[in-house]
Amino acid sequence: MAQQHLEPTDATAGAATADALAGYLRAQATEFLRALRQHRENGGAAAGGSEASVAAARALRRSARRISASLHTFRPLLDPDWSERIRPELAWLSGTLALEHAYEARLERLLLALHRLSGAMVPAQADLVAGSRAGSHADLVAGNPGTPAPDRGNLTVGAAKAGALLDRQLTLARTRAHSTALQALGSSRFHAVADNIAVLASEVPLSATAQATPLHPLAAAAEDRLKDAVTALPLVTAGHPYNAEALIHGLSPDPSPHPQDAPWHQVRLLLRLHRYAREVLQDAEIVDVRLLAAGEALDRHRDASEAAAAAAQAARTPRIAPATAYALGVLHADQRHEVEAARFAFQQAWQKETVSTP
């Protein structure tokens, strides 16, 4: 039976107008400027800086994503030249600032998985793994498969060298991402973006027909695009206990991403657009638990997919020892099973019903 979650109000209740969009954009622009000031005061780029600097960089990305998504979903209400000019710049900024944290989180994920699989794990690492994998374990108990137990003797031999190889590769990538973020934040391109956001905080460039254009049909179109993309997903495959095709492709000589993953990544982006459109209509006061759970599952899916790709890439390093290659292969298989667990969790979350109350 589908589970039900109560929702305080209907997403289409009321008559949202251009004023609601303008207020949302001004609020997000103000958050962006506040985060930028905090970031400068704490003097860091991202994960390499202080905790306050990391939080400020995260807030910058958060505001940039919401502004960019709103410009995309509600573009008929905005000045087209300004909107099309600033959207790619916001995507560039958000992506640049996200890279360093992504590499750091990927390395931590892979090293913890290696420790878990090889059996060499200290209590602190065990606690961290338990927290990060709580959702996946819940999925497995519900019926989704786990990773087959590896040969721990052979795995332990190569785990240390595999971890050292991953550490070298991903730390180098994180260092380069840190330098890129520093250069970006000091560039004229970023200052132009900040100037545009400063203007947006006080004046939203609406189109001539904005006041006569309702928001709900545009938000409904974003929801329809999401539903169509979800309908095209292989949700039946997501409920199966084993997906060998993904594992075989990941260990092939072809370094391109697995084609199974791309539709899921697209759904993740469309779900984000839908959530942000709901924030505009509801003044960000209502959280749909169903969408939140689905989004978290897709975030885990992306993280596991990228971690599996990193393990496969490391396994392609020339002249590595067989034991190291074996450990990386087991690690890749483990992360692909995490991908399957995340897909199963999304399937379970998406099929729940949302009931609105008056």
Helix (H) or strand (E) holding 77: none
Rounded alpha-carbon distances, angstroms, from residue 109 to 30, 280, 306: 34, 34, 11
Rounded distance between C-alpha atoms, residue 263 and residue 244, angstroms:
18
Q: What is the pLDDT of residue 181?
A: 92
pTM: 0.80
pLDDT in tens, 60-78: 999 999 999 999 999 999 9
Rounded distance between C-alpha atoms, residue 351 and residue 328, angstroms:
35
Q: What is the pLDDT of residue 341?
A: 93
Regarding predicted confidence, which is higher, 304 or 240? 304
Rounded distance between C-alpha atoms, residue 66 and residue 141, angstroms:
35
Regarding predicted confidence, which is higher, 239 or 355? 239
Mean pLDDT calculated for residue range 7-27: 72
Compute the mean pLDDT over every residue in the chain, rounded to the nearest whole number: 82
Q: What is the pLDDT of residue 42?
A: 78
Q: CA triplet 90, 309, 319: central angle to 5 degrees?
A: 130
Q: What is the pLDDT of residue 169?
A: 97
Please identify which residue in the block is written with the tokens 């695009």: 225
CB atoms within 10 A of CB 124: 8
Confidence of residue 13 (pLDDT cuts 50, 70, 90): very low
- Residues 18, 77: contact at Cβ < 8 Å? yes
Rounded alpha-carbon distances, angstroms, from residue 55 to 62, 103, 198, 354: 10, 17, 20, 32
Residue 131, classed as helix, strand or coil, is: helix
Confidence of residue 157 (pLDDT cuts 50, 70, 90): confident
Q: What is the pLDDT of residue 52?
A: 83
Q: What is the pLDDT of residue 134?
A: 45
Q: What is the pLDDT of residue 143?
A: 40
Regarding predicted confidence, which is higher, 47 or 309? 309
Mean pLDDT calculated for residue range 27-35: 96
Residue 178 CB partners (closer than 8 Å, separation 6+): 45, 46, 47, 48, 100
Rounded distance between C-alpha atoms, residue 202 and residue 199, angstroms:
6
Residue 254 CB partners (closer than 8 Å, separation 6+): none
Q: What's the gap between Cα 96 and its chain centre? A: 14
CB atoms within 10 A of CB 190: 19
* 123 has pLDDT over 60: no
Rounded distance between C-alpha atoms, residue 332 and residue 313, angstroms:
10
pLDDT in tens, 34-60: 999 998 887 654 444 578 888 888 999
Q: What is the pLDDT of residue 118?
A: 85
Mean pLDDT calculated for residue range 308-327: 94
* 245 has pLDDT over 70: no
CB atoms within 10 A of CB 193: 20
pLDDT in tens, 249-277: 555 556 566 678 999 999 999 999 999 99
Q: What is the pLDDT of residue 260?
A: 82
Hey, what amino acid is at 309? Answer: A
pLDDT in tens, 187-243: 999 999 999 999 999 999 999 999 999 999 999 999 999 999 999 998 765 555 455
Tokens linked to 144: 């989704």
Confidence of residue 285 (pLDDT cuts 50, 70, 90): low
- Residues 24, 70: contact at Cβ < 8 Å? yes
Q: What is the pLDDT of residue 351?
A: 87
Rounded distance between C-alpha atoms, residue 106 and residue 100, angstroms:
10
Which phi and psi (to 5°) does residue 319 adopt? 60, 30
Instruction: Specify whether the backbone of 204 is left (phi greater than 0), alpha (psi in -120 to 50) or beta.
Output: beta
Helix (H) or strand (E) holding 43: none
Please identify which residue in the block is written with the tokens 């667990």: 341
